C-alpha cells in the first residue's frame, strides 16, 4: 500500500511523492496477528466534510498530518502545475508547513469526507 507525501522543497515549493508503507509481521497483546506498520504517534483525529465545489486557495498544511479520504474526490494542485487526484481510500501525509503550499479542490459531485490525523 502506498500513500502520498506533500512536502516543501529547498525551492520553497510544495512537491508530492508516492511512498510505500513499510509492513512487517506483528502479534498484538490480544492475539491479533498479521502484517502491519509500526505505531505512528498522533495527537488526535478529526472528521471533516468539504462540500462539492469547495476550493481552498494556496495554503500550507497547518501541522504535520495524515488525511485519509473516506468519500468524495479531491484534487491537490502544486506550484509547478502538478495535480494529484485523491480518491476514497487514499492517504496523504501533509508536511508542507512553509513555502507557497498547495490548492485543495473537491472535484466530485458529492461532498468529500475525510479524517485528519494530527501528528
Predicted structure pTM score: 0.92
Pairing of strands 65-71, 2-8: unpaired
Beta strands across the sheet bearing 91-95: 14-20, 2-8, 91-95, 65-71, 112-118, 44-50
pLDDT tens, per residue, the chain with 119 residues? 999 999 999 999 999 999 999 999 999 999 999 999 999 999 999 999 999 999 999 999 999 999 999 999 999 999 999 999 999 999 999 999 999 999 999 999 999 999 999 99
Residue 33 domain boundaries = 2-118
CATH number of the domain at 77, please.
2.60.120.10
Overall domain count for the chain: 1
Alpha helices in the chain (DSSP H): none
SS3 61: coil
19-46: pLDDT as tens digits: 999 999 999 999 999 999 999 999 999 9
pLDDT at 21: 96
Residues 65 and 42: their CA atoms lie apart, in Å, by 9
**Cell 468539504 appears where?**
50
pLDDT at 35: 98
Instruction: Supply the DSSP symbol for 12.
Output: S
Amino acid at each position: 500500500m502506498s500513500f502520498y507525501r506533500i512536502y516543501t522543497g529547498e525551492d520553497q515549493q510544495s512537491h508530492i511523492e508516492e511512498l510505500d508503507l513499510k509492513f512487517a509481521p506483528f502479534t498484538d497483546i490480544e492475539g491479533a496477528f498479521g502484517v502491519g506498520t509500526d505505531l505512528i504517534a498522533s495527537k488526535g483525529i478529526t472528521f471533516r466534510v468539504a462540500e462539492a465545489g469547495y476550493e481552498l486557495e494556496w495554503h500550507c498544511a497547518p501541522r504535520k498530518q495524515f488525511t485519509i479520504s473516506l468519500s468524495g474526490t479531491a484534487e491537490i494542485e502544486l506550484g509547478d502545475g502538478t495535480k494529484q487526484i485523491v480518491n476514497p481510500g487514499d492517504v496523504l501525509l501533509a508536511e508542507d508547513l512553509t513555502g507557497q503550499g498547495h490548492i485543495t479542490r473537491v472535484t466530485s459531485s458529492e461532498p468529500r469526507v475525510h479524517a485528519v490525523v494530527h501528528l
